[in-house]
Structure 1
Amino acid sequence: MSTMNISLPDYLKSFVDEQVAGRGYGTSSEYIRELIRRDQDRLNLRRLLLDGAASAQAEPADADYFAGLRQRVGGRQPK
């Protein structure tokens, strides 16, 4: 694992320390890693949403669509 040193103003370091103590993180590094993972997830979700918005319009997801989906998930082919 690589090491990265960061500099924070006192008020941000205090905030990180409070989060570590109050939210069950073992170290400030664990807290920062969790923030980075959440940001990666947010960026991935944004990309997926933008890809979906740019894609061709599909058929409406009505009651019949969901009934067929439930049948396929249940291992039965839709009628």
Structure 2
Amino acid sequence: MKRQSISFTAPNDEWLKSQIDSNEYSSKSELVNDLIRQARKQQRQIDWLRVKLEKAEKSGFTNESKAQILAASKSLLNG
């Protein structure tokens, strides 16, 4: 694993410490890595929605049913 040195504002550092103190995470590194994973997943979801919206705007219509769109959305959210 690559090591990095980062600085946190006091409120963010306190929040990180509280997450570790509550045994949610064993270290700041674990927590920061989890937050990055969540942000990356969220970005993939946003990108997917953007593509779908752009396609819909260009075509005006979709051949997918509501159920198919919902299933695809749920599948993406569940990673």
Task: Determine the C-alpha separation between the residues in 2 that align with 1:32 and 1:48.
Answer: 24
The alignment partner of 1:25 has SS state of coil
Equivalent-residue separation in structure 2 for 1:18 and 1:54 (angstroms): 41
Instruction: Mark the CA change 1:11 to 1:60 in structure 2 (over 3 Å): closer, same or farther.
Output: closer
Q: Which residue of 1 is the match for residue 2 of structure 2? A: 2
Tell me, which stretches of 5 or more residues in structure 2 are unaligned?
Answer: 69-79
Q: Normalised by the size of structure 2, how large is the TM-score?
A: 0.69
4+ residue runs over 4 A deviation: none
- The aligned counterpart of 1:61 is 65
Distance 1:54 1:44 in 2: 15
- Going by fraction, where is helix more abundant, 1 or 2? 2
**How many residues are paired up?**
64
* Superposed counterparts of 1:4-43, under 5 Å: 4-43=4-43
- Aligned partner of 2:9: which letter? P
Segments of 5+ residues of structure 1 without an aligned counterpart are: 67-79
**1:60 shift after superposition:** 5.3
Identity %: 17
Question: TM-score, normalization: structure 1?
Answer: 0.69
Between the two structures, name the one with larger relative contact order (CA 8 Å, sep ≥ 6): 2
